[in-house]
Structure 1
C-alpha cells in the first residue's frame, strides 16, 4: 500500500474518531440535563464546600449526573468549587449548569418593622448564609459598638430600613461593615444638623422615631405626633407613650410575639426602663425599627402647642390633639367608650 493511501486511511480514521468524540462531548455537555419542573431554581453552595458536597446539593436537580460530572471535571470546576447563590434554569445543559455555578447571584435583602435586634438577626439569617450567632456577634461585639458609638440597647439604630444588595455567602462582619457605612450615608450633614437643633443624637432621634412609628401608621400624621412628644420633652414631662408600655411588657415576659391591643391599669406601672409612664425622657433604645418617614418626621416635627393626643374613633388610624389635659380627657373618655363597645379589653 502506497504512502498516500495510508495517509488517507489515517485521516479518515482520525475524522471518524474526532466525530465520535465530538458527539460524545456534545451529548454530555450540550443536551438538556435538568429534572425539575420550575422555570428557575436557586442553588446554595456553602462557604468552603467541596465537590462532594456540591454533588449532594445539585444531584436532585440533574437528570444524568455522569454528564454533569464529565463537564465539571473537564472544566476544572470539581477542583475549584465556588460558594454562593446560583441560578439553574429549566432545560439547562450540563455546560450551562457548570457555568452558572461560577456566577454568584446577588441577594436583595430587605428588612423593616423588626422590634428587636434578635428578630432582625433571625430575618437576616433567612436571607443570607451567616447564622444568627455569627450575626449577633458581629453587631454586638464591643469594638464594633464603640467604633460606631453604640451600645447593645441602641445597636438596632444602626439599621436604616431599606433594600440592600449582598452576596448570599457574605460574612457577618462584612454585613455589619456595610450597615455601618449605609448608616453614615443616611445621616448626612442635613439630618445631623436637624438632630443637633433638637439637641439629640441620631440614636435618640431613631429611638423617638420608633415610638412615633408605633403610635401612628399614618405617615402624614407622624410629624404632628413627633411634635407633641418633643413638646413633652421640652416641658420635662414623661412621654407617657403606650407603645413603650407594650414593649416593656413584652421585654419583661420575653415574649415578643404576644399581641397587646390595649394598655391601662396596672400595666402602666410595669417596672422597666422602657416604660415612659414611670420614667422621664427617652427609653434606653428603640422599641422597634422605624420607617424612614418616622425618622424624618422627628427631624422635621410639626411646630405646635399640642401636648396631648388620643386615638380618634371617628377617623380610624388618626388622633385628636389637645393643648390642655381637660380637653384631652374628654377625647380619652370617648375613645374608651368606643373600644369598650368593640369588646377590646385590657
Structure 2
C-alpha cells in the first residue's frame, strides 16, 4: 500500500512539474509573440466595431495580417487584462509593428483621422466640393442641402440666410464617423470662435455687428492677397462708410453678377457696374447684405481693427499690392498710371481690375 501511495505521489509531482513547465513555456511563447514585429508593406486600416471582445479583436487583427496568431494575441490580451480598455474605432497600422504596439494604439484610441484644407477667400460653392471630395467621402448634395437649410443655419449659429462667409478657412481633422452636419457645424463654430478673438481686440468706435464684420472681412479678403495691406484696405472702407460714400468694390459686383447669372466671371463690364443689385456696391450704399466669401483670421481682425488713415481710394499695382490715396485727384493719377498707361505698354503681366 505504501508503495502504491508513493507511486501516486511521484506521478502527481511529475504531472505538476509537467504542467508548470507547459505553463512557463506558454507564457514564454506569449511574451515572445507580443514583442515580435510584423512588417506591413502597405498601411492596413481596420474598423473595430463597438462591443468587440478580446477574441473577436484577435481574430480581426490576424485576418488583416496585423498580427500572426489570433490565439496568442487573445491570450496576451487576457493575461494583461486589456479587454475592458479596448476602444472601438477605425485604426491604421503600418511599417514594423509588434502586437503590443498595435494594442497600445487601440488602447489609447489613436483612431485614423482624415484632413482637408480650405484656403482663405473661397465661396461656399467652392468650399463644399472640397469637403465632399475629401477622404471623408461625404455627400455633396447633403452638404448643399444643409448649407441652404434655415433650420440648420439657426442651429449652427449663422446670423444670415445663407452659410456664405461662415465656413472658416482652415485645416480640419475628422474621424471616419463624421457626418455632413457635424463637419459644417465645426466649420461654422471655427468662424464664430475666430470672430470672438477678433472682437476682443475691436478698435474703439468700430460698431460693426457679427454679420457686418464677416461681410466687411470677406471684402477685405477678396481685395488683397497681401497680409500687410488688410488693415489699410479696411481703413479705406471704414472711412467711406463714415462719409456715406459707396464702397465701389469690384468683388461685390462680381458676386452680384454670380447671383444674377449663375456663373462666376471675374471680368466686369460697364453694364455690370450699372446693374442694380443689393451686392453691387457701385449702385447701393453701405455694406452688402452678407459676406461674399469666407474670410480668414487676418481679414476678420482687420475688419474690426483698421489702422488710422485718411485714405478713401486704392488702386492695384498689378502685382498683388495697391496704392492708396486720400483724394480723388491723387487716385485719378494712380489709375491713369497703373490702369491706363500700364496696359498700353506691351508686357506679360496679368491685370487686376481697378478698385475704389
Please indicate, yes or no, whether the TM-score normalized by the shorter chain is above 0.5.
yes
Alpha-carbon contact 1:195-1:205 (below 8 Å) kept: no
Shift of residue 10 of structure 1? 0.4
Residue in 2 that maps onto 1:338? 342
Q: Please, which runs of 5 or more residues in structure 2 have no aligned partner?
A: 1-5
Structure 1 partner of 2:177: 169
**Alpha-carbon separation, structure 1, partners of 2:74 and 2:147:** 39
Partner in structure 2 of residue 323 of structure 1? 326
2:73 is matched with which residue? 71
Per-residue CA deviations over 1:80-125 (Å, capped at 9, x if unaligned) read: 9855453424211234324423433375775431522343344445
Q: Is the 8 A contact 2:30 2:76 kept in 1?
A: no
Residue matched to 2:123: 116
Extract unaligned runs of 5+ from structure 1: none
8 A Cα contact 2:136 2:178, kept in partner = yes
1:108-167 deviation digits (Å, cap 9, x = unpaired): 7754315223433444452657554555566654334235252242x2444444566655
1:146 to 117, 141, 154: 154
CA root-mean-square deviation: 4.4
Match of 2:93 in 1: 88
Structure 2: distance between partners of 1:124 and 1:167: 13
Aligned length: 335
Q: CA separation in 2, counterparts of 1:63 and 1:217?
A: 48
Tell me the residue number matched to 2:312.
307
Partner of 2:102: 97
Query: CA contact under 8 A between 1:104 and 1:167: conserved in structure 2?
Result: no
Instruction: Tell me: CA distance 1:318–1:97, structure 2 relative to 1, closer, same or farther (3 Å).
Output: same
Change over 3 Å in CA distance of 1:105–1:199 after alignment to 2: same
SS at match of 2:294: coil
Residue 217 of structure 2 is aligned to residue 209 of structure 1: yes
Say whether residues 1:281 and 2:283 are aligned partners. Answer: no
CA distance in 2 between partners of 1:96 and 1:293 (Å) = 42
For residue 184 of structure 1, report the CA deviation from its aligned partner. 4.9
Distance in 2 between residues matched to 1:299 and 1:79, nearest whole Å: 51
